[in-house]
Structure 1
Amino acid sequence: MSLCGLDFGTSNSTIGVIQSDQAVMVPLEQHPITGSPETTLPSALFFDFHSDEISFGRKAIDSYTNGHFGRLLRSMKSILGSSQMEEGTQIKTRKYLFSEIIAFFLTSLKERAESFCQQDIDSVVLGRPVHFNDHNAELDRVAEEKLRTIAESIGFKNISFQHEPIAAAHDYEQQIKQEEIALIIDMGGGTSDFTIFRLSPSLKNKADRHDDILANHGIHIGGTDFDRHLSLATVMNQFGMHVQYKDKPGVEMPKHFYVDLATWHRIHLLYSRKTLWSLQDLRLRMADTRPIDRLLKLIQQKDGHRLAALVEQAKIDLSALPQTDISLAFLEESPSLSCLVTGRQLSDAIDHDLQRVFHAIDETLNQAELKPGDISTIFTTGGSTALHAVDQYIRSRFPNATCVQGDLFNSVGKGLVLEAQRRYC
């Protein structure tokens, strides 16, 4: 029996296998600039309208960025657990269900892993957030069943699930030397999940760890939410978000255009004649037409995903820099336009969501009936844990705990492989 652990992420995905009795993350593609093997595959698909081919990951993003005629889709995991799952989307002359699109992507992951292993893979442990939907238990159940059905449709025969922060705990447990009460913080692209786990070198191969899980909690807030808030607080001003009507002082451009433009899985909704007609009509009524012209050009060029990627990169850069520039040179204005973004702007933009995340961590402690001082280790994974505000919170809330940063993008995947080995071997 050949097995794998598959972490289908909102922003990035991984797949791992067992080789020589060790969990190994599959090199999924080469970095387009450095040529180095990458164990992450951006959760992106590009439908090329000329060749009718579908590309994935960095190749998909590069095809879109380089102006190939087609359609880019990202953040498909965000659709799971929402009512949009059954809506589908139009690509050229065909309407695809989102389940079909997710299946295309997961098939690509599976095939890359099988090529790496040189054998078919029939068993999988799939990662899942603690909640696909925070507020609707039925939608949460349906999301897992939908993912199971997709996995079956692409050839997996043995399918099971593990909560992503629990998987990350299994990965961390491989390196510890003594018993610990660990708080696992997994902040990914779409969700933030938390587990308090009793870990020990003597327990790591135990089949049933239910009694060692002291709490498990999550909230549907992640990196793509932070991207959206940063975009709305900064670069959207260059596209007219706060421009007022000529004859209605105090009344601004409708905000829904900018919310869609700042939300990965809604950007494509703007690429319609109806949107262009609405914006052209609004332009005639606005006090300043220049940023509206810029918005029209952005949509006509179908460059919304390019802008979203630049905002995402700015957020990442601000983890290490006090400020950065978002270049809008692709709009070919003279002189070339850019938007300065500061760390303070990022902190202010995401503060409300971060407070909700921090409150959810406190709720996790309450579930376990523990105090911050009872936690011996904080283990972090997921790209959003690199944010300065998250690091500050952890160190101030848990001053006596040892902070361990895991592999930001592979810890969950490694833990899922270990779980697959326990379940299927």
Structure 2
Amino acid sequence: MSDPVSSPARPGAAPESRPDVRADWCAIDFGTSNSALALADAQAADGVRLVPLEGADVTLPSAVFYDIEDLPRGAQAPRRLYGRAALAAYREGREGRLMRSIKSILGSALAGQATDIGAGHAVRGQDVVGHLLGRLLEQARVAAPDRPLPQHAVLGRPVHFVDDDPQRDAQAQAELEAAARAAGLREVAFQFEPIAAALDHEAGLQAEERVLVADIGGGTSDFSIVRVGPQRRARLDRADDILASHGVHVAGTDFDRHIDLALLLPACGYRTRGPSGREVPSRIYFDLATWHLVHAAQQPSRVAEIARMKGDYADARHHARLLHVLREQLGHALLARAEGAKIALSDALEAVDAVAATAAAELAVDDIERGLRLPLDAPLALAALQPDLRRIADALEETLRRAGLRADQVDTLYFTGGSTGLRPLTAAIAARCPQARVVHGDRLASVARGLGLQARRLYGA
């Protein structure tokens, strides 16, 4: 069993004291898009430091590439590449399998299913999680070679791995804990990610306040309302300071999906009609636009099925482009293009005249067809995102309701998570708490730092 701190019913509760534990701990922010690791550091003012995971970067894209190119006959397992190296190997066209958005499989049937990675090898979804966690722990050894490998860890978790399904949510946490133990950890505790961000925010405060943390990453949008301040930060048991938590399983990868469907995949026939006047089947496009389903969409049986559907397309170019994407396994590349379009859209909206800034913008999609250029249609993209933006903002309202607070009783609205770089999203959230002070934390590192503070209080001296 995990520590009581891991219980979603009472997050922040203090476990039994461990006076024998000093520095053999770590904190892991295992994210849908990026991950980070914190260790004890006696030289740091707060006793915590983030570990460089790839060069000087303290974040690692949550991606694993199983490289089977030139794999010696009889090899026990393919070589594994992680983070940016994994993405680079995929872009270079090396033979193998890219696994990304791994956190999204927790709590689903995919966690226990084996995926073919080529050359007679397969890997279970939960084992992919363990491989990535193991890589993070290896970097802990690199960063602190004079210390033993961490045996105790606080891991972040979303408020809900799975919406409206407590059984699958508990299953997802159990799967993450099992993967962490398989990676070498002896004891695992959990903390809600938005509460970890609140702890990081609290470190610099001089007065008490109610902070509403909006932690919006790649897979989930989570909110917590927490009492923080200098008189509270030394307390190990913070359960009474957590006024409410709520979240929805909608975030950055969903935005990528909507932009892929709205701006890119119509060039491959999505939402077009065939000679009979009926719309072409949509399922293949939905799978291609979902990070953790791309592999299934590109299986030979699916490709053969689509190849037989040429007569369903009024424009033969659409069918040819779709087949090219499937046969060349370009689904992840298109989603990366969609992610880039999302960032370009957000940057353009910072301009005084957002419409003019995006009117002439284009997306280069040579992946689909050499020389193909598609417009970066800002109104179309924003319209595609609106239902999710409203659902996320509504989750904030539900968090206030659970805390028994009005919006004007929130002192600070604290943003963290990679997707808070999307300006329309943060604007929609801030509009629900117009009187609150808006603070933007480190989008990719504040949760890891907060988890590190929790781990230091839990396992440190």
| TM-score, normalising length: structure 2 | 0.88
CA shift, 1:88, in A, is 2.5
User: Please, which moves more after superposition, 397-406 or 183-192?
Assistant: 397-406
Matched, 1:396 2:431: yes
Name the SS for the 2:336 alignment partner.
helix
Name the SS for the 2:347 alignment partner.
coil
- Quote the Cα distance in structure 2 between the aligned partners of 1:46 and 1:201: 44
- Quote the Cα distance in structure 2 between the aligned partners of 1:279 and 1:45: 28
1:16 to 38, 54, 57: 38
Structure 2 runs not aligned, ≥5 long = 1-22, 72-77, 349-353
Contact kept, 8 Å, 1:48 with 1:68, in 2: the verdict is: yes
Contact kept, 8 Å, 1:124 with 1:160, in 2: the verdict is: yes
2:290 to 254, 263, 278: 263
Matched, 1:98 2:125: yes
Give the equivalent residue in structure 2 for 1:329: 366
- Quote the Cα distance in structure 2 between the aligned partners of 1:339 and 1:220: 30
1:62 to 84, 88, 92: 88
Give the equivalent residue in structure 2 for 1:275: 302
Instruction: Give % identity.
Output: 38
Give the equivalent residue in structure 2 for 1:380: 415
One-letter amino acid of the structure 2 residue matched with residue 23 of structure 1? V
Contact kept, 8 Å, 2:66 with 2:80, in 1: the verdict is: yes
Contact kept, 8 Å, 1:314 with 1:325, in 2: the verdict is: no
- Quote the Cα distance in structure 2 between the aligned partners of 1:391 and 1:154: 36
Matched, 1:27 2:46: no
Name the SS for the 1:124 alignment partner.
strand
Give the equivalent residue in structure 1 for 2:280: 253
CA shift, 1:346, in A, is 2.5
Matched, 1:76 2:102: yes
Matched, 1:203 2:232: yes
Query: Which consecutive segments of 4 or more residues in structure 1 shift more than 4 A?
Result: none
Contact kept, 8 Å, 1:194 with 1:364, in 2: the verdict is: yes
Contact kept, 8 Å, 1:186 with 1:194, in 2: the verdict is: yes
1:226 to 239, 251, 255: 255
Give the equivalent residue in structure 2 for 1:166: 195
Give the equivalent residue in structure 2 for 1:356: 391
Q: Deviations over 1:105-163 (max 9, x none)?
A: 11011101221011211110000001111121111111111111111111111210000
CA shift, 1:273, in A, is 2.2
2:267 to 238, 242, 248: 238
Structure 1 runs not aligned, ≥5 long = 31-36
Q: Deviations over 1:43-82 (max 9, x none)?
A: 1011111143110000000010011111111011000122
Name the SS for the 2:27 alignment partner.
strand
1:338 to 366, 373, 378: 373
Name the SS for the 2:308 alignment partner.
helix
Name the SS for the 2:205 alignment partner.
coil
One-letter amino acid of the structure 1 residue matched with residue 26 of structure 2? C
Give the equivalent residue in structure 2 for 1:34: none
Name the SS for the 1:185 alignment partner.
strand
- Quote the Cα distance in structure 2 between the aligned partners of 1:286 and 1:331: 17
Name the SS for the 2:32 alignment partner.
coil
Matched, 1:153 2:190: no
Contact kept, 8 Å, 2:228 with 2:241, in 1: the verdict is: yes
2:206 to 177, 199, 222: 177
Give the equivalent residue in structure 2 for 1:314: 341
Contact kept, 8 Å, 1:311 with 1:326, in 2: the verdict is: no
- Quote the Cα distance in structure 1 between the aligned partners of 2:313 and 2:434: 52
- Quote the Cα distance in structure 2 between the aligned partners of 1:94 and 1:86: 16
- Quote the Cα distance in structure 2 between the aligned partners of 1:69 and 1:96: 16
Name the SS for the 2:155 alignment partner.
strand
Contact kept, 8 Å, 1:189 with 1:223, in 2: the verdict is: yes
Give the equivalent residue in structure 2 for 1:33: none
CA shift, 1:331, in A, is 4.2
One-letter amino acid of the structure 1 residue matched with residue 255 of structure 2? F
- Quote the Cα distance in structure 2 between the aligned partners of 1:191 and 1:331: 30
Name the SS for the 1:329 alignment partner.
coil
CA shift, 1:332, in A, is 5.0
Matched, 1:107 2:107: no
2:64 to 19, 34, 45: 45
Length, aligned pairs only: 415
User: Please, which moves more after superposition, 381-390 or 358-367?
Assistant: 381-390
Give the equivalent residue in structure 1 for 2:404: 369
One-letter amino acid of the structure 2 residue matched with residue 88 of structure 1? A
Name the SS for the 1:144 alignment partner.
helix
- Quote the Cα distance in structure 1 between the aligned partners of 2:51 and 2:107: 28
Contact kept, 8 Å, 2:412 with 2:436, in 1: the verdict is: yes
User: Please, which moves more after superposition, 10-19 or 386-395?
Assistant: 386-395
CA shift, 1:227, in A, is 0.8
One-letter amino acid of the structure 2 residue matched with residue 373 of structure 1? D
- Quote the Cα distance in structure 2 between the aligned partners of 1:139 and 1:116: 36
- Quote the Cα distance in structure 1 between the aligned partners of 2:144 and 2:397: 42
